[in-house]
Amino acid sequence: KPVPYLGGIAIVTGIVLVSYGAIFFRDYSPSNFWLATTVIAPAVLMSGIGLLDDIRNLSPWPRFIAQNAVALVSTLVLISTKTVGNPTGSTALDILVTIIWIVGLTNSINFLDNIDGGASGVVAISSFFLFLIAFEGGQILISALSLSLTGATLGFLVWNRPPARIYMGDAGALFLGILLASLTIRLRPNPINEFARFCVPILLLAIPILDTSVVVISRILSGKSPFQGGQDHLSHRLVRRGMTRKQAMITLWLATAFLSTLSYVISNA
């Protein structure tokens, strides 16, 4: 039966209103406003690309080019304001890695939105642990936006759990993806060594990254375009193994919770 697929607009509206409302009514300053805008504005732009895709069904390459343009602008802001949490020491390498991280993760969340409650549940769990890590590290803006992200996705999950009564669409998935990417790239965890510090954001988002990696590699090996749809995501593979769609969804949630907990432990080592 028909299911509405523009639920992402509600997610975007909720996060933007709550975030700026908190800034204006609690702790307004030009620096805080600018800092929040450097995170939220690119996410809103990316959501606009997704909304256009939802309505007009854009072809993959124009959509991919637009995503890279938004990611480039976001990256240049991050580099110029020195807000990259784990800089490599090379500006060129920082720009390259940041663009790949933003575009890759944005599409990873979009790819993960292939089963009821999958993407919204995973994002809710990852963003909650991101809140814990950022809060304990004194990064208040990241922790506040992460908690807002957790609340928005949990509220959406009420309507998106199986059987879903609404979908987030590309407008919601791309917004959540770039927002998570921007927040994690700014995160400054303080574990015992350099390698562990880079592992923290990767573990937080390991399930979306793994899902996209499996899909892209399997499609390339079979001679298909990575942008082509298919039944080769982690959730589809779990269902083919005998799980129900609800069990597959819960499995993704549990795996995300385990890896996010590991990330939290490493960040406090």
Between these two residues, 27 and 37, which has the higher pLDDT value?
37
> What are 197-206's pLDDT values in tens digits?
889 999 999 9
Residue environment code for 58-76, b if the CB has 16+ CB neighbours within 10 A, otherwise e: beeeebeebbeebbbebbe
**Which of the four pLDDT bands, split at 50, 70 and 90, describes residue 236?**
very high
User: Which of 56-60, 86-90, 156-160: highest mean pLDDT?
Assistant: 156-160
Scanning the chain, the segments in alpha helix (DSSP H) are: 8-26, 30-56, 60-80, 91-112, 118-136, 140-160, 169-186, 194-204, 206-221, 234-240, 245-267
Q: CB-hemisphere CA count at 13 Å for 141?
A: 23
Q: Is 54 helix (H, G, I), strand (E, B) or coil?
A: helix
> What are 113-165's pLDDT values in tens digits?
999 999 999 999 999 999 999 999 889 889 999 999 999 999 999 999 988 99
| Cβ 116 vs Cβ 162: under 8 Å | yes
- Amino acid 268: pLDDT: 81
Position 247 pLDDT exceeds 90: yes
Across the chain, what does the average pLDDT equal? 91
- Amino acid 88: pLDDT: 81
Average pLDDT over residues 26-33: 84
**Which of the four pLDDT bands, split at 50, 70 and 90, describes residue 192?**
low
pTM of the model: 0.93
Position 190 pLDDT exceeds 80: no
Query: Looking at 36-40, 185-189, 250-254, 256-260, which range is the least confident one?
Result: 185-189
At position 80, the amino acid (one-letter code) is S
- Amino acid 209: pLDDT: 96
**Which of the four pLDDT bands, split at 50, 70 and 90, describes residue 211?**
very high
Residue with tokens 């124009």: 62
**Which of the four pLDDT bands, split at 50, 70 and 90, describes residue 191?**
low
Average pLDDT over residues 216-223: 89
Query: Looking at 71-85, 97-111, 219-233, 234-248, which range is the least confident one?
Result: 219-233
Position 56 pLDDT exceeds 70: yes
